[in-house]
Amino acid sequence: MIDTLFSGLIHGSAYALVAVGMSLIFGVTNVANFAQGSIVAVGIMVAWWLGSSLGWGILPTVLVVIVVTGLLGLLMNTAVIAPLEGRKPIAALLATIGIGQILDNGLQLIFGPQTRPFPKLLPTYNLQLFDVRFGTSDVVMVLLTALLMLALWAFLKYGKTGQAIRATSQDPEAARQMGIPVKSIRNISFVIGSVLAGISGIFVGLFNANINPMNGGSIGMTAFVAATIGGLGSIPGAVVGGLVLGVVESLGISWLGDGAHDLITFGALLIILIIKPQGLLGPKTDVKSEPLTGTFLGGGRPITLPWWGNAALAALLLATPFFFSDYLAGVGTQVAIYAIAAVGLTLISGSAGQTILGMAGPLAAGAYASAILTTQLHWPFLAALPAAGIVAAIAASILTFPVWKLSGHYVAIATIGVGAVMVAIIRLWEPLTKGSLGIQGIPFPTIFGQVLYTQQMQYLLDIVVLLLALLVVMRIRSSHLGRVFEAVGSDQEAAQALSVRSSAYKSLAYALAAFFTGLAGALLAHQYTYIDPTIFTSSASVLILTIIVLGGMNSPLGAVLGSIILIGGPELLRIVPDARIIVYGLLLVLIILFRPQGLFARKG
């Protein structure tokens, strides 16, 4: 038990360092920085290179990591985040996701993706107390976390710049009128937050012993959960949240096994959001600004086509399977599947104005539902397909039912937890889902006795389902229900003043989006013929959201265009396969900066 608690304390200290940076940035800029984990990875890999290749010791390594990550934080804010000031904060959040993609895949390109031993910059496992072995690195980590938090507290409370940071956090406009250089203060906040993440990366490497360039992603997401548990914007809350989460994770994993990690982490997130949404030490005030809601389009309107234009596009899509090779048809199946999920997402993230960050959950629910129905209960494919959509919609609705009483960024954050919890339940429900082993032998789709065993046949099926999804979504958008969704998304307070139950309509829009995503998951399962939980990561959620950002969050046809570019695009970049994800991240950032309404939309 003591060794478990100690391990939790060490992990919690790392989470706290990263979470404090996140909370500081959020408090000053109202930006949820999803690139923070990537900065952790930068710290890990820079320290690895300095220690392994150059043989540097701990002190010069820490100094270089501070300089490198500090400069990255400054560049991130000045080049990308600051130009987005005045837009919906969801724009900055998505931009940080793009920056994270650039950094993560840039590190893989520079250092290679393989796992490697981290240099012994400090002794590890060289000490023992109460039969618990630990290292000098662990002691330094805990003490350094305490000292840095104390120094940051003193800086914010007594330092002139620190007081300016606090003033900017409370009211940027009032701070600007008092002569505080808000722009510089925001730069300083990003620098401090990034430096804390970089330092954390060094000790994560020492604790884990083996590292690779992708280690920062899970640390960053867990630290974001810790910051939310403590209270986004609260420095003491970030410390408490990090330590509490570290200990809870260690205890839970020791009792339930490694497979329960996500269930524990994101389950704790959901519980805190439902019981005390402002966090353990967050301010006891309602959210006035809703940084992860709003259509992000800034008045953008989807481009509409005449009926004959839609008919021509439908005919063109239906014709492509008869002209595509096996290879192109295989690419087309992926384009169509993700387009189906993205088309549904436009109802909630576009029309109803609520950003959803966890669609991997409904995607997994649909895939597993159809796989289980056809392999274990021997349902026909045509019955299992709609059933998979219904299962995904019901599961997502049940898990998010308590969430819709929340407001602002809390709903979007909760959907991250919902998606992760759905996948975690699938992993742990081994008698039904086979757990981490996955489900094999999923049959190809069969339509009226015809097995669709070729890529062209499956692509044609996907196109038909995509066209039906487009037809249904467009009919919903043009109906009274669609106009209510638009009213809620455009001005939630005005809609509520007219007795519109905005939370109920957002919940309905989310259920519809989950239904279409469940259909996409079912198609994916029957075309892969094998699925396991590793397919349904947060990257899938980000990809689906990025598709509608690219095409236009309020445009179903734009979702198809976005999928063609983001899913089919890799084949255009085969000459630079290692760099294509960097190109996607860069594309996402550029779209947000220069074409925020999306490619298939016009400014309002």
Q: 130 and 222 in contact (C-beta within 8 Å)?
A: no
Instruction: Please state which CATH number belongs to domain 300-572.
Output: 1.10.3470
How many angstroms separate the CA atoms of 588 and 131, rounded? 51
Q: Identify the CA nearest to 533 among candidates 332, 263, 208.
A: 263
pLDDT digits over 103-123, tens only? 988 998 899 889 999 998 888
Q: Are 2-275 and 300-572 the same fold in CATH?
A: yes
pLDDT digits over 361-395, tens only? 999 999 999 999 999 999 999 999 999 999 999 99
pLDDT digits over 125-160, tens only? 777 777 777 778 888 888 888 888 888 888 888 889
Whole-number pLDDT of residue 91 = 79
Whole-number pLDDT of residue 499 = 82
User: Across residues 161-180, what is the average pLDDT?
Assistant: 87
% of residues, the chain, pLDDT over 70: 94
The backbone torsions φ and ψ at residue 51, rounded to the nearest 5 degrees and listed phi first, read -75, -40
How many angstroms separate the CA atoms of 191 and 569, rounded? 34
| Residues in contact with 62: Cβ distance below 8 Å, sequence separation at least 6, in sequence order | 199, 202
Of the pLDDT bands very low, low, confident and very high (cuts 50, 70, 90), residue 602 is: low
Whole-number pLDDT of residue 1 = 67
Q: Identify the CA nearest to 169 among candidates 19, 27, 24, 283.
A: 27
Q: Does 425 or 253 have the greater pLDDT score?
A: 425
Whole-number pLDDT of residue 306 = 84
Residue 30 tokens, joined: 């109202």
Whole-number pLDDT of residue 291 = 45
How many angstroms separate the CA atoms of 486 and 554, rounded? 10
pLDDT digits over 82-96, tens only? 998 877 767 788 889
Of the pLDDT bands very low, low, confident and very high (cuts 50, 70, 90), residue 553 is: confident
DSSP 177-224: HTT--HHHHHHHHHHHHHHHHHHHHHHHHHHHSEE-TTHHHHHHHHHH
How many angstroms separate the CA atoms of 123 and 342, rounded? 49
Whole-number pLDDT of residue 77 = 94
The angle subtended at Cα 492 by Cα 281 and Cα 278, nearest 5°, is 5
Q: 463 and 337 in contact (C-beta within 8 Å)?
A: no
Q: How many other β-carbons are positioned within 10 Å of the β-carbon of residue 283? A: 15
Whole-number pLDDT of residue 131 = 73
Whole-number pLDDT of residue 489 = 86
Whether the per-residue pLDDT at 571 is higher than 70: the answer is: no
pLDDT digits over 179-220, tens only? 899 899 999 999 999 999 999 999 888 888 889 888 887 888
Whole-number pLDDT of residue 298 = 45
Whole-number pLDDT of residue 10 = 83
Q: Does 360 or 152 have the greater pLDDT score?
A: 360
Assigned fold of 2-275: ABC transporter involved in vitamin B12 uptake, BtuC (1.10.3470)
User: Across residues 448-475, what is the average pLDDT?
Assistant: 95
Of the pLDDT bands very low, low, confident and very high (cuts 50, 70, 90), residue 527 is: very high
Average pLDDT, the chain: 87
Whether the per-residue pLDDT at 511 is higher than 90: the answer is: yes
Whole-number pLDDT of residue 289 = 43
Q: Does 409 or 460 have the greater pLDDT score?
A: 460
| Mean pLDDT lowest among 74-78, 277-281, 576-580 | 576-580
User: Across residues 215-231, what is the average pLDDT?
Assistant: 86
How many angstroms separate the CA atoms of 532 and 534, rounded? 6
Whether the per-residue pLDDT at 287 is higher than 50: the answer is: no
**What is the Cα Rg of the chain in Å?**
24
Q: 379 and 373 in contact (C-beta within 8 Å)?
A: yes
Of the pLDDT bands very low, low, confident and very high (cuts 50, 70, 90), residue 295 is: very low
How many angstroms separate the CA atoms of 427 and 431, rounded? 10
Whole-number pLDDT of residue 290 = 45
How many angstroms separate the CA atoms of 475 and 355, rounded? 22
> What one-character DSSP code corresponds to residue 153?
H
Alpha-carbon distances of 246 from 211, 249, 419, rounded to whole Å:
19, 5, 21
Whether the per-residue pLDDT at 464 is higher than 70: the answer is: yes
Whole-number pLDDT of residue 308 = 85
| Residues in contact with 76: Cβ distance below 8 Å, sequence separation at least 6, in sequence order | 35, 96, 99, 190, 194
Whole-number pLDDT of residue 533 = 94
Domain map of the chain by residue range? 2-275, 300-572
Q: 263 and 435 in contact (C-beta within 8 Å)?
A: no
Whole-number pLDDT of residue 72 = 96
288-313 burial by CB neighbour count: b if 16+ within 10 A, else e?
eebbbbbbbbeebebbeeeeeebeee
User: Across residues 253-262, what is the average pLDDT?
Assistant: 81
Single-letter amino acid code for the residue at 575: I
User: Across residues 418-439, what is the average pLDDT?
Assistant: 93
Of the pLDDT bands very low, low, confident and very high (cuts 50, 70, 90), residue 297 is: very low
Whether the per-residue pLDDT at 566 is higher than 90: the answer is: no
How many angstroms separate the CA atoms of 551 and 234, rounded? 36
Whether the per-residue pLDDT at 597 is higher than 70: the answer is: yes
